Amino acid sequence: MRIGLVCPYSMDAHGGVQIHVMDLATELISRGYDVGALAPASEDVELPDWMTSAGDSVAIPYNGSVARLSFGARVARRVRRWLADGQYDLLHIHEPITPSIGMLALQSATCPVVGTFHAAMDRSLARGLLSPMAIPLMERITARIAVSEEARRTLIQYHGGDAVVIPNGVNVAPFARAPKDDLRFAGAPGAPTISFLGRLDEPRKGLAVLAGAIPTVLDAVPGARFLIAGRGQAEDHRRELARFGGAVTFLGGVSDEDKAAMLASTTCYVAPQTGGESFGIVLVEAMAAGTRVVASDLTAFSDVLQGGRLGSLFANGDSADLARAIIETLTRAEAAEARRRAATEVVGRYDWARVTDAVLDVYDMALSTAHTRVTVAPGQRTALGRLRDALDD
């Protein structure tokens, strides 16, 4: 079976949706499926051989961040050519009503279409204005997936209908077996380490909230060290926090290997994001790495942490409450360790192997409208396939 994946956001700057598409494609290919993918990308970006570039993108402010989208008559021709060349049995479009190549692919698709919705937002003027015009497009989607209950809520709020909730996937094993780096990242009794990872110049990632909590934490735990990783300019914060000397270290961008080592090594990971999050991949990565998690009480984060059972939550945007949560995590070791162990026990539900099984079930449902079924790779079974086997027996 040929599966076409469409990513609306440029591969020039990897974000959650881009990583999701890449990881899903890799898992499907490993199972023997014939996969092609389409995404915006500039000429100097190296793409896997199964991915086609739809051309350059344009940066547009979106949902508190910057989305790099691709559209126009020339791009539409490239999309139609990719569809014609691919002859896909099923098309899986991510964010299908974002004004980019996903929308163009949806307009031209002749096979069953699965749409995955990632975005979560409370209010969006653009979404509100777009929703009536998107009705004909939404009707072309055979089956819908939302990556979280928050993404599902946003979908229903602006477009009606419903969706199957299938979480973002994470390759759990690399984080679970990541070696600790005692020299750079590891904490010790009396000298714990607290890590942060995110775009430093993107306000919704919450660096300002963390910066406001650092003085209180250092007063209570003088030996603590804060490791701040991520790209982007943050000169104001650097100047503000320089007075703490070696207690605060800016690491800059980190590789995937260093990210895993940092999460596996630090005493706790802090996610102070203030909004615009539909899931919480980095929370799952930290849970898989076996570190304690402190996160703002965004609905998406609270869902991942099961209301505080798997990690400590603090009031969104409240530096004082963040300081409290960090101090309690560092000083009340028994309770923090119980949350960490509980997180380790459940994190496997987010592994790409299990997530892909659920995605294939949706593919099977979508293909049933075309009177066909997923051709399952050897050794694999979808849920519907397992049910049919049981009935046959």
**Token duo for residue 78:** 């490239």
136: amino acid identity, one letter: P
- pLDDT score recorded for residue 388: 46
Res. 252: pLDDT tops 90: yes
Nearest CA among 237, 231, 310, 317 for reference residue 273: 317
CATH number at residue 130: 3.40.50.2000
Q: Within 10 Å of residue 389's Cβ, how many Cβ atoms?
A: 10
Strand partners for 227: 195, 249
Q: Please say whether the beta carbons of 198 and 230 come within 8 A.
A: yes
- pLDDT score recorded for residue 340: 97
Nearest CA among 215, 214, 239 for reference residue 227: 214
Which range, of 142-146, 164-168, 182-186, 307-311, averages the lowest pLDDT? 182-186
Q: Is the pTM of this model over 0.75?
A: yes
User: How far is residue 79's CA from residue 74's CA, in Å, rounded to a whole number?
Assistant: 9
Q: Are residues 258 and 235 in the same domain?
A: yes
User: How far is residue 225's CA from residue 130's CA, in Å, rounded to a whole number?
Assistant: 46
Q: Are residues 198 and 310 in the same domain?
A: yes
Structural domain for 316, as ranges: 172-348
Q: Are residues 32 and 160 in the same domain?
A: yes
Q: Are residues 339 and 198 in the same domain?
A: yes
- pLDDT score recorded for residue 119: 87
In which order are the strands placed within the sheet that holds 312-314? 248-252, 225-229, 193-197, 268-271, 292-296, 312-314
Number of domains the chain is built from: 2
Q: Are residues 200 and 330 in the same domain?
A: yes
CB within 8 Å of 134: residues ≥ 6 apart:
97, 159
Q: Are residues 195 and 289 in the same domain?
A: yes
Q: Are residues 91 and 135 in the same domain?
A: yes
User: How far is residue 163's CA from residue 140's CA, in Å, rounded to a whole number?
Assistant: 14
Q: Are residues 384 and 254 in the same domain?
A: no
Instruction: For residue 94, give the 3-state DSSP assignment.
Output: strand
- pLDDT score recorded for residue 256: 93
